[in-house]
Amino acid sequence: MEKPLAGHVAIVTGSSRGIGKAIAKRLAQLGAAVSLCSRDPKALEAAGRELREFSPNVLARTADVTSATDISSLVQATEEELGPITLLVNNAGIGNPGFGPVQEKSESDWDLILSTNLKSVFLVSRAVAPLMIQRRRGDIINISSLAGKNTFAGGALYCASKWGLQGLSGCMAEDLRAYGIRVSIICPGSVATEFSGRGSKDPTKVLTPEDVAHAVAMLALQGPQSFISEVQMRPVSKP
């Protein structure tokens, strides 16, 4: 069972760095073929080289997940080069310009945050779900945040995107479970990454990208007769 995900094909969005790269790396280590995407071609190329140390079946493709055209090309290329998609991890997301009092935010700030953190999940899932329905199998894992369950001062736009993701994920789970497709959501607290959030954190009191990757692996390997609908993650040491 060293490669329990052998034969699986995963798309991980926002996978050139941070949590996304850690997730993609873990899935590759478990034997999955992995399709990476990002808007940063240099970082994406570097991530692809790193993952090929664990698996030869890695596709790295530049894509904007807020663009339906880019997503369609990514999904088509993944299926052609790696095989049928069995696992989708919607990880792409941004923090700034989502932090700050709502009266100081612009319409463009709102559009950018909601498009990246919420609309992208809708677009990518919409492109992949019909393929999974045809095969009556698949896992969709959406990376949210504890900010999708808790409010805080200065978090209006970011929280709105993550609260929306909670609702979207729950409805997707109900829509797709009849086809053998499991939809889960992971809600981490603060994670030690380059993600632009609310200031610096004590690295001993936050999660690591590998912690989130471990949770994704757990969901990908869960038993066939049930699914874990939500995972909430917090560091052991309270910030």
For 43-94, what is each residue's pLDDT tens digit?
999 999 999 998 999 999 999 999 999 999 999 999 999 999 999 999 999 9
Q: Where are the alpha helices (DSSP H) in 85-224?
A: 107-114, 120-135, 156-176, 209-220
1, 8, 133, 66 alpha-carbon torsion, rounded to 10°: 130
**Quick one: pLDDT at residue 196?**
47
Residue with tokens 């900010």: 147
CA distance 144 to 32: 23
CA distance 30 to 217: 8
Average pLDDT over residues 96-125: 97
Residue 200 banded pLDDT, cuts 50, 70, 90: low
Tokens of 11: 């798309």
Residue with tokens 């990454």: 193
pLDDT over 90 at 1, yes or no: no
Residue with tokens 């560091």: 235
pLDDT over 70 at 198, yes or no: no
- Residues 5-56 have pLDDT tens digits of 999 999 999 999 999 999 999 999 999 999 999 999 999 999 999 999 989 9
pLDDT over 60 at 138, yes or no: yes
Residues ≥6 apart with Cβ < 8 Å to 209: 18, 19, 21, 22, 23, 191, 192, 193
Q: In what order do the strands lie in the sheet with 9-12?
A: 58-62, 33-38, 9-12, 87-90, 138-143, 181-188, 230-233
Average pLDDT over residues 104-133: 98
**Quick one: pLDDT at residue 140?**
98
Tokens of 153: 């001062």
**Cα 12 to the chain's mean position, in Å?**
6
- Residues 144-164 have pLDDT tens digits of 999 999 999 999 999 999 999
pLDDT over 80 at 201, yes or no: no
**CATH top class, domain 9-233:** alpha beta
**Cα 164 to the chain's mean position, in Å?**
15
Which class for 198: exposed (0-12), middle (13-18), buried (19 or more C-beta within 10 A)?
A: middle
- Mean pLDDT over each residue of the chain, to the nearest integer: 94
158 catalytically annotated:
yes
**Quick one: pLDDT at residue 212?**
98
CA distance 91 to 78: 17
The amino acid sitting at 190 is S
Catalytic residue, from 54, 99, 158, 163: name it: 158
Which class for 192: exposed (0-12), middle (13-18), buried (19 or more C-beta within 10 A)?
A: buried
Helix (H) or strand (E) holding 138: strand 138-143
Paired with 115 in beta bridges are none
Percent with pLDDT over 70 in the chain: 96
- Describe the chain by its helix, strand, coil percentages, rounded to 5: 45, 15, 35
**Quick one: pLDDT at residue 205?**
84
pLDDT over 60 at 111, yes or no: yes
pLDDT over 60 at 195, yes or no: no
